[in-house]
Structure 1
Amino acid sequence: MDWKEVLRRRLAAPQADPKKKKSEQELKDEEMDLFTKYYSEWKGGRKNTNEFYKTIPRFYYRLPAEDEVLLQKLREESRAVFLQRKSRELLDNEELQIPPMIGEEAMINYENFLKVGEKAGPKCKQFFTAKVFAKLLHTDSYGRISIMQFFNYVMRKVWLHQTRIGLSLYDVAGQGYLRESDLENYILELIPTLPQLDGLEKSFYSFYVCTAVRKFFFFLDPLRTGKIKIQDILACSFLDDLLELRDEELSKESQETNWFSAPSALRVYGQYLNLDKDHNGMLSKEELSRYGTATMTNVFLDRVFQECLTYDGEMDYKTYLDFVLALENRKEPAALQYIFKLLDIENKGYLNVFSLNYFFRAIQELMKIHGQDPVSFQDVKDEIFDMVKPKDPLKISLQDLISSNQGDTVTTILIDLNGFWTYENREALVANDNENSADLDDT
C-alpha cells in the first residue's frame, strides 16, 4: 500500500469527538501533519526532505563558455575518446567478411539463428535478436530469413554507426548537429577518399564544397537555422549519393544525375560563370534572367531579388545554388516552399486570385512579345484550382500545393513562359512523340 492510500484512509476515519467542530485552518494543519508523517515513513523514515532531494542524480551539465579554454579542450578530448571507444565496438572489415554463396539463396531458421548468435563474438550479439529476425522475416513458408539479407542488414547498420561517429567528430558544439562550417570541413576532408573526384583541381575545392553543402542545408534546414541534426543527415539519401563517388566504375549516367559528382558540380558552376557577363563574381537580375531558356518573367525575378539574400542588389554563388536547387527539384516540399514564398506577394500564407493574376499577367505580356495570342487568365485560374483542389476554394496554401502533387506544374505555369507553353501544348507534344516513336519502329 502506498502513502497516498494510507493518507486517504486516515483522513476518512471518524474523528475521536465528532461533536467538537474544528476550524478550517486546524483541519488543514492536521492534514499537513499527517501528510508529512506518512510521506516520511513511506520514504524510509527520512524526516528531512532536503536530505532526500540531495539524492536526485545530476542530469544537466553546463557547456563551457568561449573564454573557458581549458574546459572546452577537456570536453573535446573526452568526446574524442568516447567516439573512439564506440568505433572500436563496431565490426571491422575483416569481421564483416562472408563466404561466397553458391546455388540457391541460403536461408536460416530462428533456432539456428540463435545458435549462430551464441557462437558469434560480443560485437555481433546486438544483431542476433528476435527483433532483427522478425524484421527480416517476410513470406518464407518455413519461417526462415535470407542469410544474405541479414548480412546486408548488418552491413548497413555498421555503416550507419561508423558514419554517425565520423560526422560526430566534426560536431564542435557536441549537441548532435552540424553547422555549415562543420559540414564544409567534413566534405573537404572526404574529397581525397572519393575516386570520382580525383580529377578536380584543388583551386575548385572550395566551390565544390559550397555546392555540396548547399544541398544538405537547402533540404534539411528549411527554417534556415544554420545547423542540421546528424540524425537527419543519416536519414536522407544525400550522404549515400555523396559516398557513391567511391565507386571507381560509376556510370556516366549516374554521374550526371548525382548532384555531388564532379560533372554536376562543374556544370552548375559553369552556368554561374556564363551568366556573370561582367565577371564581378555576382549575378544581377538582368544576368539571372538568362538562366535556363531565358523565359522567366521579370515579375518573378523581381521577387527573387526582393526575398533572397543579395549584396548591393546582386546574387552570390551560395544564393544562386538555392535558386537552382529550387527550380530543378520543384516536386520536393523544400523547393515548393522556396517558390511559394516568392509567389505569396502579400505574405498571407496562401495564394488567392489576386496573386495568381499578378504573376500570370507577366506570362501574358511575354506571349504578346513573342507574337502569341494571350491565354485567358480565367481559364488558367480555373485549371489551377482544379489541379490543386485546395481545402478553401478561394485560397491555395503551401500544404495544398504539396498534397496535390501538382505544385511543380502550377509554379511553372506562373513563372516561366516556356514552362507554360509546354503545359498548354502537352497533348500535341505527346502525340508528336508517339508519331516519332512509330517512325523509328518502322525503320
Structure 2
Amino acid sequence: MSTPSRPEFDASKKADELFFDWFTRPTTQELLIDHLSILLADDDEAKGGDKAPATPPLAPPSPTMPSPPQSPTSPRDSPPPGIASSPRSPRSVVGDVSPRFTRKKSVEARKMNARRARRSAAAATEASKGKAINLPRFYYRNGRPKDDEEKAAEIEREIERVFRRFGGRISREDFPSVVKACGLPLYWKAPLFVACGGGDRQPVTSEMFEKTWKRLTTTCHDDASQFIWILTRGRQSYVVPEDFEFLIQDIIDTHPGLTILADTPEFQARYVETVIARIFFSVNRSWSGRIGTVELKRSTFLTVLSLLETEPDINQVMEYFSYEHFYVIYCKFWELDTDHDLFIDKTDLARYNDHALPPVLIQRLFSEAVQRDLKKNDGKMSYKDFVWFLLADEDKQHPTSIEYWFRLMDLDGDGVLSMYEMEHFYKQQVKRMERRGIETLSVEDCLCQILDMVQPRVSNQIRLRDIKRTQVATLFFNTFVNLEKYLEYEQRDPFATKENEGDSELNAWERFCQRTYDQLIAEEQMAEEYLEDGFDDGLDEELAALKSNDEDSPDLEALLPDEFDDAS
C-alpha cells in the first residue's frame, strides 16, 4: 500500500509572505525612509555639496607586496582591496576632527533633516485637504440658487399689489391671482393656499403668504423642489399618494373639461384614485411609494400639469388626467367586480379578457410581488392595484410594465428568468391552446426562439436589462402571460399592422383606450335605442357581437354568418 505523498513546501511563496509582512510594518517603513533620506543626502553631497580636502594619490601596490587584510572590527576605516594602506602619523592629523565622529554627526543631522521633511510633507497634505473643502459647490438638491434679485423684487411688488387690491385678505376663489403673480402654474393654487394656512372659511392674509413665500424661495430654487415643498408644507422631501388628493380634487372642481363629474361624488373619488395611480406608475420608477425631486425632474408630470391651464379639453391631455382613459379603466374594473365592493379576488380576475390569464399568473398576481397592501386588503386586489395591472397589460413596452411582468415571472426573486421559470409559464399556455385545438410549439422550440429574440448577455439567463435593451418586451411577456394577445400576434396580418395601429404618435395604451372607449359608447347608444323603442329582444346578442367585433380580434372571419361564405 503506497503511502500518501507529502505536500510540497513552496519556500519562495513563504518567503514572499514573510517579506511582505515585514515590509508593511510601520517600523520598517520609518527605517526605510530614514535610510533613503541618508542615501539621498549622500548623493547630493557627492554631486555638489562641500567636498572634503583632497588627499594625495596613493601609489599603486607593489606586485610583490600583497595588500594587508581588512580588520573585521573596522571595515569602514580599512582601504579597499588591492590598494595599499599608507600609514598616517599621529602628527600628520594634529588639529583634525576624528573621521568617525564627523560621520556620526553627519548621520544624526541627516536623520533630523529627514524628520523635518516628513513633517513638512504631512503639513502640505493637511493644507491640500483644507483646500479641497473650498471647492465650488456643484450639487444642489433643491436647485441652484438664483442671483436675479431684480426679478425677485418685481415678483414681491406684484404680490403686494394683488393683496392691496383684495384688501390684504384673499379667499380660495381669488387665489389664482396670487399664483399668477408668483409666476407659478395655475393648478398649484389649491396646495399653495393650504400651505399658507388657508381653509374653507379662512382666507390667506398678506403676512401669512409673505412668511410662507419667504420660506419657500429661500430653501427651494427649482420647480420640482418647490412643488414637493408646497404639497408637503415643507415637512418632508418627498410626496406620497395622499399628498396629491387635494390637488386633483381642485382640478375636478375647476377644470372646464371635468364638469361631467360635478354631480357624481363617487366617480370623483375613483377619478382621484386613477390619476394618482397613473402618476406613481409613470413617475415613481423606484417602486418606493415616494416621489422625490430626482424622479419628479425626470418625469413629464409638471409639464403636463402646466398644460391643463391652456387646454380646455381634458381628453387631449392623455397623460395622467384624461377622462376617457379613466372611463375605460373604471368600466373594465366594474365588469370584474361583481359585488361592487371595489375589490376583486382570483375568481373575478380569472374572467379578465375572456380568461386570457393562466392560473399560475393569477396566483402570482395575488402575491406580494407587485402588490404592497395585499394583507391589508384581505388577499384581494384593490382598484389602485388594478389600474397598475391594466396599464402594464396594455402597454408592455413601458419601463414600469417591463419591471411589473418581470417581477411576476421571477419566481425565486433572484433577478434572473431561468429556463425553468419560462418553461413553467409556457407549459400553462400550451395546455390551454391544446384544449382549443390550436397547434403549439414545443417548449424547447419556444425557448430557443425566445433566446434568439432577446439575445441575453449571459447564456440561458434573461435579466431585466436584456429585455429593456431590446424592443420585444410585448411579444416576450405575452408568450408567457396573456394567451389572447399571444394568439393575436400569431394570427396577425403583417401587411395591415400599421393600418390597425392608426396614428403612429399614439402608444399602445392610448390606442387601447381610444378603441375601447368608442366601443363602450357604441354599446350605450345601442342600449338607449332599444330602451326607447320599448323592447330588448336580441339586445344581449348584438352587444356581444359588437364586443367581439374588435379590430384586434384574432379571428374575425368566424363572426360572419354562413350565407356570406356561400355567397363568396
When normalised by structure 1's length, the TM-score is: 0.61
Deviations 1:253-304 (A, max 9, x none): x36x444122222321232222111233211011112223431111111111
Higher relative contact order (CA 8 A, sep 6+): 1
- RMSD (Å) for aligned C-alpha atoms: 4.4
Whole-angstrom distance in 1 between the partners of 2:242 and 2:149:
25
- Taking a change above 3 Å as real, the CA distance of residues 173 and 266 of structure 1, as seen in their structure-2 partners, is same
- Taking a change above 3 Å as real, the CA distance of residues 18 and 184 of structure 1, as seen in their structure-2 partners, is farther
Of the three residues 376, 381, 394, the one matched with 2:460 is: 394
Contact 2:314 2:321 in 1 (8 A): no
Deviations 1:125-180 (A, max 9, x none): xxxxxxxxxxxxxxxxxxxxxxxxxxxxxxxxxxx966763443114455643233
Q: Is it true that 1:421 corresponds to 2:487 in the alignment?
A: yes
Aligned-residue offset at 1:388: 1.0
Q: Indicate the residue corresponding to 2:425 in structure 1.
A: 359
Whole-angstrom distance in 1 between the partners of 2:378 and 2:494:
45
Of the three residues 345, 366, 370, the one matched with 1:308 is: 370
Letter in 2 for 1:422: E
Aligned-residue offset at 1:380: 1.9
Provide the secondary structure at the position in 1 that maps to 2:239: strand
Q: Indicate the residue corresponding to 2:260 in structure 1.
A: 199
Letter in 1 for 2:461: K
Where does the alignment leave 5 or more consecutive residues of structure 1 unmatched?
A: 1-8, 44-51, 60-78, 96-122, 124-159, 437-443
Aligned-residue offset at 1:334: 1.6
Q: Indicate the residue corresponding to 1:378 in structure 2.
A: 444
Whole-angstrom distance in 1 between the partners of 2:379 and 2:116:
75
Q: Is it true that 1:279 corresponds to 2:340 in the alignment?
A: yes
Q: Indicate the residue corresponding to 1:114 in structure 2.
A: none
Letter in 2 for 1:351: L
- Taking a change above 3 Å as real, the CA distance of residues 89 and 370 of structure 1, as seen in their structure-2 partners, is farther
Contact 1:221 1:227 in 2 (8 A): yes
Whole-angstrom distance in 2 between the partners of 1:280 and 1:198:
26
Whole-angstrom distance in 2 between the partners of 1:87 and 1:275:
59
Whole-angstrom distance in 1 between the partners of 2:337 and 2:350:
11
Aligned-residue offset at 1:339: 0.5
Provide the secondary structure at the position in 2 that maps to 1:345: coil
Whole-angstrom distance in 1 between the partners of 2:125 and 2:445:
75
Letter in 1 for 2:229: S
Provide the secondary structure at the position in 1 that maps to 2:231: coil
- Taking a change above 3 Å as real, the CA distance of residues 285 and 23 of structure 1, as seen in their structure-2 partners, is farther
Letter in 1 for 2:387: L
Deviations 1:192-228 (A, max 9, x none): 3422222223443332222112222223323332321
Letter in 1 for 2:370: C
Whole-angstrom distance in 2 between the partners of 1:218 and 1:267:
17
Which is higher, the Rg of structure 1 or of structure 2? 2
Contact 2:284 2:295 in 1 (8 A): no
Deviations 1:371-411 (A, max 9, x none): 32333222222221221111123111111111111011100
Whole-angstrom distance in 2 between the partners of 1:293 and 1:27:
89
Q: Is it true that 1:404 corresponds to 2:470 in the alignment?
A: yes
Whole-angstrom distance in 1 between the partners of 2:269 and 2:497:
46
Q: Indicate the residue corresponding to 1:331 in structure 2.
A: 397
- Taking a change above 3 Å as real, the CA distance of residues 397 and 313 of structure 1, as seen in their structure-2 partners, is same
When normalised by structure 2's length, the TM-score is: 0.49
Q: Indicate the residue corresponding to 1:112 in structure 2.
A: none
Deviations 1:107-132 (A, max 9, x none): xxxxxxxxxxxxxxxx9xxxxxxxxx
Whole-angstrom distance in 2 between the partners of 1:182 and 1:86:
32
Provide the secondary structure at the position in 2 that maps to 1:227: coil
Aligned-residue offset at 1:330: 0.8
- Taking a change above 3 Å as real, the CA distance of residues 428 and 217 of structure 1, as seen in their structure-2 partners, is closer
More divergent stretch after superposition (21-30 vs 173-182) = 21-30
Contact 1:167 1:186 in 2 (8 A): no
Q: Indicate the residue corresponding to 1:224 in structure 2.
A: 287
Q: Indicate the residue corresponding to 2:214 in structure 1.
A: none
- Taking a change above 3 Å as real, the CA distance of residues 196 and 242 of structure 1, as seen in their structure-2 partners, is farther
Letter in 1 for 2:348: E
Aligned-residue offset at 1:425: 1.7
More divergent stretch after superposition (360-369 vs 243-252) = 243-252
Contact 2:257 2:314 in 1 (8 A): no
Letter in 2 for 1:424: E
Moved over 4 A (4+): 12-18, 23-40, 85-88, 160-164, 173-176, 431-434
Q: Indicate the residue corresponding to 1:116 in structure 2.
A: none
Letter in 1 for 2:399: P
Whole-angstrom distance in 1 between the partners of 2:497 and 2:331:
35
Q: Indicate the residue corresponding to 2:330 in structure 1.
A: 269
Whole-angstrom distance in 2 between the partners of 1:336 and 1:276:
26
Contact 2:357 2:482 in 1 (8 A): yes
Provide the secondary structure at the position in 1 that maps to 2:422: helix
Letter in 2 for 1:183: F
Whole-angstrom distance in 2 between the partners of 1:231 and 1:178:
12
- Taking a change above 3 Å as real, the CA distance of residues 86 and 422 of structure 1, as seen in their structure-2 partners, is farther
Contact 2:224 2:293 in 1 (8 A): no
What is the aligned residue count? 326
Q: Indicate the residue corresponding to 1:147 in structure 2.
A: none
Aligned-residue offset at 1:86: 9.3
Provide the secondary structure at the position in 1 that maps to 2:365: helix
Provide the secondary structure at the position in 1 that maps to 2:291: strand
Whole-angstrom distance in 1 between the partners of 2:335 and 2:282:
26
Q: Is it true that 1:168 corresponds to 2:214 in the alignment?
A: no
Contact 1:171 1:182 in 2 (8 A): yes
Letter in 1 for 2:432: L
Q: Indicate the residue corresponding to 1:153 in structure 2.
A: none
Whole-angstrom distance in 2 between the partners of 1:87 and 1:187:
34
Q: Share of identical aligned residues, percent?
A: 23
Letter in 2 for 1:305: F
Provide the secondary structure at the position in 1 that maps to 2:344: coil
Q: Indicate the residue corresponding to 1:186 in structure 2.
A: 247
Deviations 1:296-345 (A, max 9, x none): 11111111112233232211112222212221221012210110011111
Whole-angstrom distance in 1 between the partners of 2:389 and 2:225:
30
